[in-house]
Chains A and B, each alone.
Chain A
Amino acid sequence: MKATVHVMLKNGVLDPQGEAVRHALGALGFDGVEGVRQGKVIELDLADGTSEADVTAMCEKLLANTVIESYRVDLS
């Protein structure tokens, strides 16, 4: 089984990289991009029977820093 973890900076935490991407898109002539937030996607190959709670624990302990980041887990 696979889990996909999406990690994003929390709302309210300044994302300078996202801002730089937004400026670059504007410079390329793409008008109307009002905000860009950049995060990361982590794919996990998991042994069968790994629970969503296990993946949540992985996020809390390592994959995300919950002081600044939020995460979402998709199991498939």
Chain B
Amino acid sequence: MKAAVVVFPGSNCDRDLAVAFRAAGAEVEMVWHKDTDLPAGIDMVGVPGGFSFGDYLRCGAIAANSPICRAVKGHAERGGYVLGVCNGFQVLTETGILPGALLRNSGLKYICKTVGLRIETSQSAYTEGYNAGDVIDIPIAHHDGNYFADAATLDTLRGEDRIAFTYTDNPNGSMGDIAGILSENRRVLGMMPHPERAADQGHGGTDGQALFRAVATQLTTA
């Protein structure tokens, strides 16, 4: 698998994401927000966590309009894989690649802790290494992770089995306890929790490893 990880000014999980992809066997290139094209032959684009452009205007709004995001959108439209984590999820909703939006946490506080996530579907390249119903421990670190979508969008997400993860104990007010969602073709995943921060023994947990391994295996044998 060849992966590109996007770097915006203010990204701070870009290298962690690259390390997690590499540990799963991927070849990784970093791409800068001003780049207008992705490197040739990229299977997967990682949009990392952080505070792109200082979270000015709205989280992810400026990043979503950067040159590289036009390329990422094109990649997604051609059926390419995209993983957006935390600020990366916010960027994907701002670009319209994924539906809904991330609002300020209902408790107004920035929350940084490990939470329980329920695997809602194993029907995706990202989650096939888990069983639906499994609960895994993954850290969250966000101020704006309160997932919002209108009723029709929520019905669609549920009806098409596109909710990837839910919180076992909703920390931020997200509708339907939603922590991560898939695109219609199931190749784009946006999630607020950080699987790349639970991908090495040194992290204190490795529940995120299966996500990177599954997707790397899928895209290597594909």
Q: Is B106 an interface residue (CB 8 A)?
A: yes
On chain B, the residues within 8 Å of A63 by CB distance are: 57
Asked if B106 and A16 sit within 8 Å, CB to CB, the answer is: yes
A67-B65 contact in complex given A13-B148, A16-B107, A20-B108, C-beta closer than 8 Å:
no
A67-B104 contact in complex given A14-B173, A62-B57, A62-B65, C-beta closer than 8 Å:
no
Asked if B65 and A16 sit within 8 Å, CB to CB, the answer is: no
Contact among B94, B99, B101, B105 for A16, CB-based, below 8 A: B105
Q: Report the Cα distance A72→B37, complex, angstroms.
A: 35
Asked if B101 and A68 sit within 8 Å, CB to CB, the answer is: yes
Q: Is B23 an interface residue (CB 8 A)?
A: no
Chain A stretch 8-28: residues in CB contact (< 8 A) with chain B: 9, 13-14, 16-17, 20
A67-B93 contact in complex given A13-B148, A61-B65, A62-B57, C-beta closer than 8 Å:
yes
Asked if B61 and A16 sit within 8 Å, CB to CB, the answer is: no
Asked if A16 and B104 sit within 8 Å, CB to CB, the answer is: yes
On chain A, the residues within 8 Å of B186 by CB distance are: none
Asked if B173 and A16 sit within 8 Å, CB to CB, the answer is: yes
On chain A, the residues within 8 Å of B104 by CB distance are: 16-17
Q: Is B25 an interface residue (CB 8 A)?
A: no
B12 smallest CB distance to A (angstroms) = 23
Q: Is B58 an interface residue (CB 8 A)?
A: yes
On chain A, the residues within 8 Å of B103 by CB distance are: 9, 13-14, 16, 68
Q: Is B100 an interface residue (CB 8 A)?
A: yes
B146 smallest CB distance to A (angstroms) = 8
Q: Report the Cα distance A9→B100, complex, angstroms.
A: 14
A65-B65 contact in complex given A16-B108, A20-B108, C-beta closer than 8 Å:
no
Contact among B100, B106, B146 for A67, CB-based, below 8 A: B100
Chain B stretch 54-72: residues in CB contact (< 8 A) with chain A: 57-58, 61-62, 65
Chain A stretch 51-76: residues in CB contact (< 8 A) with chain B: 61-63, 65, 67-68
Asked if A14 and B61 sit within 8 Å, CB to CB, the answer is: no
Q: Report the Cα distance A9→B94, complex, angstroms.
A: 15
Contact among B62, B108, B148 for A68, CB-based, below 8 A: B148
B positions within 8 Å CB-CB of A: 57-58, 61-62, 65, 93-94, 99-101, 103-108, 146, 148-150, 173
A positions within 8 Å CB-CB of B: 9, 13-14, 16-17, 20, 61-63, 65, 67-68
Nearest 10 interchain pairs by C-beta? A67-B101, A68-B101, A16-B106, A16-B104, A16-B108, A20-B108, A65-B101, A65-B58, A68-B148, A62-B65
